Structure 1
Amino acid sequence: MTKPLDLASLDPKPVTVATGETAEKDYAVVRQTLERITRDWRDQPSLDQMAAEAGLQPIQLQRVFSRWAGLTPKQFLQAITLDYAKALLRDRTSVLETTYEVGLSGPGRLHDLFVTHEAMTPGNYRNRGAGLTISHGFHPSPFGKVLIMVTDHGLAGLGFADPGEEQSALEDMCNRWPAAEFLESREKTVCYAQRIFDPSQWQPETPLNIVLIGTDFEIRVWQALLRIPMGQATTYSDIAAHLGNPGASRAVGTAVGRNPISFVVPCHRVLGKTGTLCGYHWGLTRKRAILGWENGLTQPVLEVADT
């Protein structure tokens, strides 16, 4: 029997985080520090060591992290340990079913970002996007440069780019629907970038419309991802079981990897059975950054084991 889900726990805490160009500049420092933490977290690098490597004073580094996600570097270090990931998975067997039971699925589901979604017909995917016009633009975000892609139906794509990789990210996303018409239009995409990464704009009266373009199986997997609340996680095998095909873990993993709307469709909340982060299309450093950023919004850092 699944335990009731506390709906109040799904609402982001009123934490002020950096947005826009400030967030992007902060992320450049956070990314460098996060790579250091990720590489040497067992050694528990000190704040002084990490600050020196970032070319900052310790108090400056602390302020950047706190402004960026409401977390100190020490708290962030806790939030990316394996013990923390395991803690996120403690109730994973009930995450998908419980959210379904309380109405967190379907077109009008309550979502961290208050998302409504629709799926394109299978023909749209088989036609490789023929007949679709997709507008795109790059914008600053808390996780580096973000590529936003929209249709008349809503948000269709979201990807990330490290410095100098913008063209590669654009080609990656465009290749998903090669027959579509692509138009650069930051004017059409800027409102999405502002809405998606600013928690103060996550309001039910202004839902975020997204459109899922993929195979029937991929869309079912992506819809399952939308049921994972912020601050929780699940596994590939749990998603496969939820879809009624326990032996499809590998196929689920492939579909998760092809998720075209990163962050919003939270593929970063899928972990390995043991709590390992596994792959992420836009890089494991960014996956760790997103999970830590979300942790700063949703709950105090979980206590981690001593061993």
Structure 2
Amino acid sequence: METQATINYSRIAEAIDYIKENFRSQPRMDEIAEKIHLSPSHFKRLFTEWAGTSPKRFLQYTSVEHAKKILKDEQATLFDTAFETGLSSTSRLHDMFINIEGMTPAEYKNGGKNLAINYSFAESPFGSLIVAATEKGVCYMAFEDDEGKALDHLTAKFPNAVFRRKLDLLQQNALFIFQSDWSKLGEIKLHLKGTDFQLKVWESLLKIPMGKLSTYGNIAGQIGKPKASRAVGTAIGSNPVAFLIPCHRVIQSSGAFGGYIWGTTRKTAIIGWEGAKNYASF
């Protein structure tokens, strides 16, 4: 016998499939709701609970992902991309990219062209790392012992940017986080791009005090998506700035530390180090 949860899951799965198959026609929310035999308000509430985002937002994500594939074709124009994505104008494409990707379609197509990025390598209590910054703030920081691999990962993030190996003030201020003197922490600036959901998750991580821990469920609740723990975990796994955005402070509800982009051993060491620092400050 089917439970209500099973029925709800089947309905949302059907809605997701419908959006993926019909996004080029940019279906209205009431149209999708009708397909799965729900009222628009009930559909929106149920979809948000199960998918961690609204159906309108999911349609936008799907549309942007398709547009990104088209834009990678050097011959594709913005008009062609908008048309193939089912959008009525390039202005709608522009607004959607700004909202979802934090950049214009042209900037995405250029892959960071004309973006100047300074980078340097440093040592931390948890191994070697690379830190990089634009003129607006730190855009990337990652633990990596091999400098060649570290630079490869950075350039893959911004394939057409101009890179210069130079330690600037933005990077220096960021590296103060590993020191006992925390007076420079207020001067750290970040320059990030991500979906609205990712940015909300990363912002929530910044609110976890040093030496304290949170869970994926708690983060989901704080951003108003209590059933989106799995989506929160995915956003945390996409964190481009190690340590400064403290994804290491998020653990499983069971108390297990869980995974970490830069290694579970390192995560354990960081949590212990921060706990000792926090204890010593009392």
In the alignment, what sits opposite 2:236? 256
CA distance in 1, matches of 2:161, 2:121: 19
For residues 249 and 173 of structure 1, do their structure 2 counterparts lie closer, same or farther at Cα, with a shift above 3 Å needed?
farther
Match of 1:270 in 2: 250
Shift of 1:188: 5.7
The answer on whether the counterparts of 2:202 and 2:245 sit within 8 Å (CA) in structure 1 is yes
Query: Which structure has more helix as a fraction of its residues?
Result: 2
Aligned match of 1:138 in 113, 117, 121? 121
Q: Which range is displaced more, 209-218 or 288-297?
A: 209-218
Q: Does residue 150 of structure 1 match 2:133? A: yes
The answer for unaligned runs of 5 or more in structure 1 is: 1-118, 301-307
Secondary structure at the residue paired with 1:251? helix
Report % sequence identity.
Answer: 39
* Number of aligned positions between the proteins: 179
Q: Aligned ranges for residues 227-246 of structure 1 at < 5 Å?
A: 227-246=207-226
Which position in structure 2 is the counterpart of 1:176?
157
Cα-to-partner distance string for 1:140-198 (whole Å, 9 max, x where unaligned): 11111111111111111111113xx2222222233223333322213566624642211
Alignment partner of 1:195 is 2:179: no
Q: Which has the higher contact order (CA 8 A, sep 6+)?
A: 1
Query: Closer, same or farther in 2 for the Cα pair 1:192/1:282, shift >3 Å?
Result: same
* C-alpha displacement of 1:258: 1.0
Matches within 5 A, 1:34-183: 122-123=102-103, 127=108, 128-162=111-145, 165-183=146-164
For residues 281 and 297 of structure 1, the distance between their equivalents in structure 2, rounded to whole angstroms, comes to: 23
AA at the equivalent of 2:259: G
State the match for 1:50 in structure 2. Answer: none
Q: Any unmatched runs of 5+ in structure 2?
A: 1-98
Q: What is the TM-score when the length of structure 2 is the normalising length?
A: 0.57
SS across alignment from 2:117: strand
Match of 1:90 in 2: none
In the aligned structure 1, how far is the partner of 2:224 from the partner of 2:140?
27
**Contact preservation (8 Å) 2:103, 2:193:** no
- Cα 1:180/1:137, change in 2 over 3 Å: same
Distance of 1:180 and 1:124 partners within structure 2 = 15
Give me the whole-angstrom Cα distance separating, in 2, the residues matched to 1:195 and 1:124: 33
> What is the Cα deviation at residue 294 of structure 1?
0.6
| Structure (1 or 2) with the larger CA radius of gyration | 2
Report what 1:284 is aligned to: 264
